[in-house]
Amino acid sequence: MYFSLRNFNRSLNNFNNNREEVYVMKLLIEKAWSITLVNDTFPHPRNIYRVIVNDESGREFKTNIGVGKPAPVWNEVIEICFKKSPVKEKLKLMVVRENCYNDPGTSTGEKVVGRATILVPDDVQCKKDGVIEFVKFDGIENKVKGFISYRILLTKERRHYTNIN
């Protein structure tokens, strides 16, 4: 087989020219914990927890599972790409407990422990550390169920992607 350096360089240039400038947000979900163990519900030492993140376009991202001994730890980076600036966009987080098939109303086996909202940073190259409360509705009240620690980094990069919102 004949190898042509000129053809290789053309292919490489075509590849590089097809890349788009996109915004890349890296969200590090660190851990979750509670002020008190409310009715032995969170965090329960044997339960399995996951964090589900949704952006405003409806895309869904999930962490791997974390076991609640004494607090679930993920230390996972979720990378979300945007075609246009995501500044002021809200990310919705849900902490769910897995394998809850015996609980009423959980046909999927996932039970929502609490919800939270994170705002995307205002500036590119901005790093943000934070702790947010996740709450669960109890009747008409919001009850704080616990906290999630996180870090966000927003950058602008050239990527070869076609399926970015």
What pLDDT, on a 0 to 100 scale, did the predictor assign at position 4?
61
Establish how many alpha carbons lie within 13 A of residue 72's alpha carbon, considering only the half-sphere containing its beta carbon: 28
Range 118-145 average pLDDT = 84
Q: How far apart are alpha carbons 147 and 81 in whole angstroms?
A: 26
Q: Decide if pLDDT at 61 tops 90.
A: yes
Alpha carbon distance 98, 66 (integer Å)? 10
Q: How far apart are CA 146 and CA 131, in angstroms?
A: 10
pLDDT at 36 over 50: no
Question: Rounded mean pLDDT of 120-143?
Answer: 84
| Structure token digits, residue 119 | 């705002």
Tally of residues, the chain:
165
| % pLDDT > 70, the chain | 72
Any domain includes 68: yes
Q: Is residue 6 a part of any domain in this protein?
A: no
Is 3 part of any domain? no
Nearest to 95, CA basis, from 148, 141, 57, 46: 148
Is 32 domain-assigned?
yes
pLDDT (mean) for 61-78: 86
Residue 104 is classified by DSSP as T
State the residue range of the domain holding 61.
18-159
H or E element at residue 119: strand 111-119
Q: Is 13 a member of any domain?
A: no
In a domain, 91, yes or no: yes
User: What total number of domains does the chain contain?
Assistant: 1
- CATH number where 22 lies: 2.60.40.150
How much of the chain exceeds pLDDT 90, in percent?
34
Tell whether 11 is covered by a domain: no
Average pLDDT on 84-96 reads: 90
The answer to the question of residue 42 being in a domain is: yes
- Has residue 8 got a pLDDT over 60? no
Segment 143-159, tens digit of pLDDT: 777 899 999 999 998 87
